């Protein structure tokens, strides 16, 4: 670790570019880019949007998501320091002054919203700003530390990208774009609760009220089942809203059935092996659903 000098609260930071990049949560960004692009592709007449403007829109989406992640890391640096999963992040390791991370996040948030508005339209920019606001203020600063339903409500922030991609093309919000939002919204709780099951000790140590910590594993597993069952009609909704064909419907039902199957295994498994498998599959599941939607449109 590089040495950091502290001089009247001005840390002479020697944080590298990769340290700043790590603040943006690159793995989360990749999911945002993919689902945002999916929303853009699935919108009516996506080719009406100039390709350079489309690329700029997706870049703004990615940067804004990363910026929200940086602000989240700034706010949660106390929790991150005590969790094994996050103790090696830049701020717990004192690789930079916290104010630098906060400034980095705020500047990128504002610039990305402005650029989205200039490149596409102000509906997309407004949705982008709202998603950022929701993740930072509603989820990070309020829900995460105060309720076991944190990930249920707060997960809405991660569900906005396809709506934003759609709005970048059309300038509006429709039932079809809301159905894409709903897929991610209802996918989020079982995905994160599967993680929370095998990272339970970490969340307990950090006193984060994740559902397994507050209500136990049995209750969490039942809640996960409810959402997994709900995902079957939710994932099929694009077919009934005429934004996908029968090919997608079949793929969605198969993928969702397997998602439910992995959840059933979690229900009866006293170890965490099934939870880890379900968590890994849930990532593939979401990518596969949106990929199926895009392929179906072609």
Partner 1 sequence: MPIEKLHKTKKKKNLTVLAIIAAWIVIIWIVTMIKVNHGS
In the bound state with partner 1, the residue whose beta carbon lies nearer, of 53 and 291, is 53
In the bound state with partner 1, the residue whose beta carbon lies nearer, of 115 and 129, is 115
Q: Which of 75, 92, 73, 74 is nearest to 84 (CA)?
A: 92
15 φ/ψ sector (left φ>0, alpha ψ -120 to 50, else beta): beta
| Residue pair 243/179 in contact by the 8 Å Cβ criterion | yes
| Residue pair 60/119 in contact by the 8 Å Cβ criterion | yes
Q: Give the pair of three-digit tokens for residue 141.
A: 């600063």
In the bound state with partner 1, the residue whose beta carbon lies nearer, of 12 and 201, is 12
**Cβ of residue 8: shortest distance to partner 1, in angstroms?**
12
**Cβ of residue 15: shortest distance to partner 1, in angstroms?**
8
Footprint on residues 170-199 left by partner 1 (CB under 8 A): none
Binding part of the chain for partner 1, among 13-21, 37-45, 221-229, 259-267 by CB under 8 A, reads 13-21
Binding part of the chain for partner 1, among 22-30, 49-57, 242-250, 278-286 by CB under 8 A, reads 49-57
Residues 6+ apart with CB under 8 A from 47: none
Classify burial at 61, counting beta carbons within 10 Å of its beta carbon; exposed 0-12, middle 13-18, buried 19 or more. buried
User: How many CB atoms are closer than 10 A to CB 52?
Assistant: 9
Q: Which of 2, 6, 12, 267 binds partner 1 (CB under 8 A)?
A: 12
- CA angle at residue 38 from 34 to 43, to 5 degrees? 155
CA distance 198 to 195: 6
In the bound state with partner 1, the residue whose beta carbon lies nearer, of 51 and 271, is 51
Binding part of the chain for partner 1, among 29-37, 52-60, 85-93, 271-279 by CB under 8 A, reads 52-60
In the bound state with partner 1, the residue whose beta carbon lies nearer, of 119 and 182, is 119
Q: Which of 56, 90, 123, 231 binds partner 1 (CB under 8 A)?
A: 56
14 near partner 1 (CB under 8 A): yes
Give me the half-sphere count of Cα atoms (radius 13 Å) on the Cβ side of residue 186: 21
Q: Which of 3, 8, 9, 17 binds partner 1 (CB under 8 A)?
A: 17
1 near partner 1 (CB under 8 A): no
For the chain, the 3-state helix, strand and coil shares in percent, each to the nearest 5, are: 80, 0, 20
Footprint on residues 67-126 left by partner 1 (CB under 8 A): 111, 115, 118-119
Q: Which residues bind partner 1 (CB under 8 A)?
A: 12-14, 17, 50, 52-53, 56, 111, 115, 118-119
């Amino acid at each position: 670790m590089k040495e950091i000098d502290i001089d009247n609260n001005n840390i002479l930071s020697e944080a590298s570019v990769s340290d700043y990049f790590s603040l943006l949560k690159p793995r989360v960004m990749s999911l945002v880019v993919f689902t945002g692009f999916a929303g853009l592709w699935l919108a009516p007449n996506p080719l009406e949007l100039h390709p350079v403007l489309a690329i700029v829109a997706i870049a703004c989406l990615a940067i804004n998501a990363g910026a929200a992640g940086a602000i989240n890391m700034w706010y949660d640096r106390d929790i991150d320091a005590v969790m094994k999963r996050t103790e090696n992040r830049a701020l717990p390791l004192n690789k930079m002054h916290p104010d630098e991370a906060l400034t980095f996040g705020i500047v990128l948030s504002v610039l990305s919203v402005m650029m989205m508005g200039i490149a596409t339209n102000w509906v997309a920019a407004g949705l982008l700003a709202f998603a950022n606001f929701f993740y930072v203020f509603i989820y990070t600063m309020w829900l995460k530390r105060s309720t076991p339903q944190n990930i249920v409500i707060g997960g809405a922030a991660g569900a906005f990208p396809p709506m934003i991609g759609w709005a970048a093309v059309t300038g509006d919000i429709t039932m079809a774009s809301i159905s894409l939002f709903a897929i991610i919204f209802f996918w989020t709780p079982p995905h994160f609760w599967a993680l929370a099951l095998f990272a339970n000790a970490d969340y307990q140590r950090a006193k984060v009220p994740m559902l397994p910590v507050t209500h136990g594993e049995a209750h969490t597993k039942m809640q996960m089942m409810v959402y997994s069952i709900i995902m079957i009609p939710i994932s099929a909704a694009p077919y009934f809203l005429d934004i996908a064909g029968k090919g997608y419907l079949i793929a969605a039902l198969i993928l969702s059935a397997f998602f439910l199957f992995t959840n059933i295994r979690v229900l009866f498994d006293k170890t965490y092996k099934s939870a880890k498998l379900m968590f890994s599959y849930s990532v593939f599941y979401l990518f596969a659903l949106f990929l199926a939607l895009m392929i179906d449109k072609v």
